[in-house]
Structures are given as structure tokens and as C-alpha cells.
Amino acid sequence: MATVRNKLGGQFLRTATGVAFVLALGAVRADAQRTLPRDPAEPAQGKPQPKILARPAGGVLRASVDEKSMRALIGKLVACGTRLTLSSWDDPKRGAGCGREAVAARFNEIAKDSGGKLQVVVDKFEMTSERTSSKPTPLENVYAILPGSDPRLAKTIFIVSGHFDSRPSNVMDPTADAPGADDDASGVAVSVECARLLSKAGAKGRGTYRATILFAAVSGEEQGLLGSTHLLDWAKQQGYTVGGMLDDDIVGADPAAGTPHRVRLFSGNGEIDDADSPSREMARAIEEIDGRAAIRMIFRIDRYGRGGDHYPFYKAGLPAVRFTEPLEDYNHQHQTPRTEDGVEYGDFEKYLNFTFMGDVARDNAEALRQLALAPAPPTDAKLTGAVTPDAKVAWAAEEDAERAGFEILWRETSEPRWTLYDFAAAPGETVLKGVSTDNHFFAIRSVGKNGARSIAVPTEIIRRPPPLPTPSKQ
């Protein structure tokens, strides 16, 4: 193999198949260091080096996920033929009621093994939408509730949900088959498995959760997010504050080569600036808990032109995100089963990847575990110090004997993730000497003595527009 030098400091490698150019990376990088602009250090005298508390011990192990029970539940849901909201709620073998019974029965099995901790509720209600022909239609959601152990946080609720209704090509046809294995028996299986994993840990004394966790299987998603809209209203009626909502919808398939891949995590930006909505902060928290190798953050409310059960919570300004598989196959969702031109359509169990689905269940469960163990987020986070050498952050928080303190976070305005700047033991104001208010975004989060973190609360600023000329009078 012959080598020929070139004028750019690289070299051509002559091979049997042709000529390949290889850059001399060291020379290029050195040249870039000389020519690219450099930024002054912030702060000029060096950034603080706070001690980082370890994350909570006793994490959910992947080996503890029961893929067989997830497969069994999906099989029972698919066997209902259709679970369309407009189908029968009374037939035990076909229709929406068949799906409800399969979910409730599995929740009740798990409740027995929880030592009485898990409480199962079948919530009956009526809703109306264009996809119910604008008529009140009966629906039912199924919940399993794991009450929080801390009186101050027990009315904070973290929700994980999948929808057990399915649909054929015609969303108004209650008679056509709609197996719905991926959309969304997979999400239901994840929610139910999270109930088993987290209630089992509590029953064995391996830790209790300060906040309440609700594991949901809702109906009416395909008719217009009906069950999730009602779930939000139900939570308010029960006096809960929603700490976060995790929607698992279409999380069962991963057919591309090289599986398992990362699950997509969608989060909207809300009606505010700077990409710091509560939903976006929830997504960042989940990625930090589960790792970048497991979570692919997508900074969108949902898939393009689509919607899911997190949406009513998101529109209410609450932390709500959606988990969805890496690449969807539209031949196997929202399709009446059939074969056309040699192509099989239909949402069947045989297209699922239970290794991937088990990963998603573990990631949901661990995120819920850590968030439910964490102190309440701080409140009233403010940023001041404009036109001064120092940024000043201030926040408030109620007393909490289980809280170790607070982490002050910052990030470049073009970066998607927070990094730790400093640690503060108590609420109040902290001066970040030599740090510009303009060059970074800032946030605060609570840290428990157990290492669990709340979601971050971005600092707010008082916006003061520059003075403008007074319009002249004509």
C-alpha cells in the first residue's frame, strides 16, 4: 500500500480498491485552536467544585422485569378482538370491556402481592367528542395507586399510563378487528409492569416512596384523548398535585437492525421562552436518571401531526412526556388486519420486541422511583444581577428534614442539558460571582439526603425591554 502526501497535511492511502483520503487530525485540530475565537472563563477565578450526592441506592434492575407477564397481558388484550371505545363494555370476550377486565385482573393480582399497599380503582365516566358522534359515551379507566408515605408529599402524584383501547382503519367501526398489540397494549403492559416492580419493592421493605404513584390504563385515546382528559380532572378532584405524567404509547416494536435502540422521549416547550417548560424539565430529569444510552430526547410535543395522552397534562402546564419506539411501522398501527399486494397490515403481537419493551418498562420504573423519593421542587426561582458582574439566583422552599439541600444548575443557551454549578444547603439568594446573567440559563432543584433529585425549576427573570422612540403624532 503506497502513501502520497498532500498539501493539507493529510495523506492519500493507495489501496487495491482505489484512493482514500485521511485527514491528519492532529494538524487540523491544532490549526483550529489557533484560528477559532475563544471565550473568557466564567467565573474568571474558577468555578466552584461542589460534592455531588450519589443517586438513590436500590435501583430497578433490568433482570427484575418480567417480560413473560407483559407478553401474557398483551396476549389477553389482543384476544379481545377489538377494544375500540365504541365497542361493547359488557361482553367478557370481545370489546372494550374485555380489555378492562384483563387489565383490572392483572392489577388485582399485583395488589395481592404488594402487602395491601396497591389500591385498584375502576373509574367509570362519560365523555363526548366528534369521534363519539357527539353523543355522551360510557368509558372506564383502570388505576392502581401506590400511596406516598410522607404526609407532606402524599398528595403529589406521579402518573404512568398506557391506553387499552384500540382502533381499526375506520376509528368509528366497533365491529372490525383491532388487535392493538403495539398501540397500545404495549404501553399498558409497561404501566402494569411498573406497578409490579415498584409495589413489590415497597412490600419487601426496600424503601417507600414519599409521593404517590398512579399506574393507569385509560380508554378513549383513539376517540380524542378522552380517558386521559378525565384522568387529569379526576386527579384534581382527589386533591392531587401532578408532579409528573409519563405516557407510554407505541413502545413495543423495535425491528431495525442492531436492536435494542433508545426509546424516544417527546416533550413540548409550552408557551414560554428558552426551552424550559415543566415537560422539558421532566424529559431532562428522566434522561439523567436512565442515561443517554437509553433515552433519546425529542424536543417536540409529539410525533408530527399526532397526539397522545400526555397532551391534556402538557396543555395544563404540568410536566408530561411521551415514550414512543424508535421508528414506527405504520403498516402495523391504525390498520384493520388484511393483506394487500403481498403486504400484511395489522397491529399483531408477532411484530413486538419484548427485549426493547422490557427496557422501556425498567426505564419508566426507575424514573418513577427516583422522582417519588425526591423532595418537593423549589418554588419562586428568580434570576437577578443584570448589568452587574455577578448573577444572583434566589428561590424558596418549605422545610424538609429529608432534604440535603439544592443544586444550582446552569447551561449554555444553546445546550440541551443542565450541568451542576454549585450546591446550597438552604433556600435564599446565592451570588454567582463573575458569572454573566446573559450567557447562561439557570435552574434550581432539590436534593434529598437519599440522593433523589426533584425536577429542575428554571429561574425567571423580570423582562425589561429596551427604551424605544415615542411615536410621533401626525
Cell of residue 10, nine digits: 493529510
**Residue 21 binned pLDDT confidence (cut-offs 50, 70, 90):** very low
Report how far residue 429's alpha carbon sits from residue 454's, in angstroms, rounded to the nearest whole number. Answer: 19
Going from the C-alpha of 80 to that of each of 90, 122, 164, 190, 351, the distances in angstroms are 12, 19, 11, 19, 18
With contact defined as beta carbons under 8 Å apart, do 387 and 395 qualify? no
Q: What is the 3-state secondary structure (H, E, C) of 411-442?
A: EECCCCCCEEEEEECCCEEEEECCCCCCCEEE
| pLDDT tens digit sequence for 133-170 | 999 999 999 999 999 999 999 999 999 999 999 999 99
With contact defined as beta carbons under 8 Å apart, do 79 and 94 qualify? no
Beta strands 212-218 and 137-146 are: antiparallel
Report how far residue 181's alpha carbon sits from residue 189's, in angstroms, rounded to the nearest whole number. Answer: 10
- For the chain, what percent of residues have pLDDT higher than 70? 90
Q: From 258, 254, 43, 244, select the one nearest 157 (Cα to Cα).
A: 244
| pLDDT tens digit sequence for 321-371 | 999 999 999 999 999 999 999 999 999 999 999 999 999 999 999 999 999
Count CB atoms within 10 A of the CB of residue 266.
Answer: 25
Cell of residue 226, nine digits: 378522552
What is residue 337's three-state secondary structure? coil
Report how far residue 63's alpha carbon sits from residue 80's, in angstroms, rounded to the nearest whole number. Answer: 30
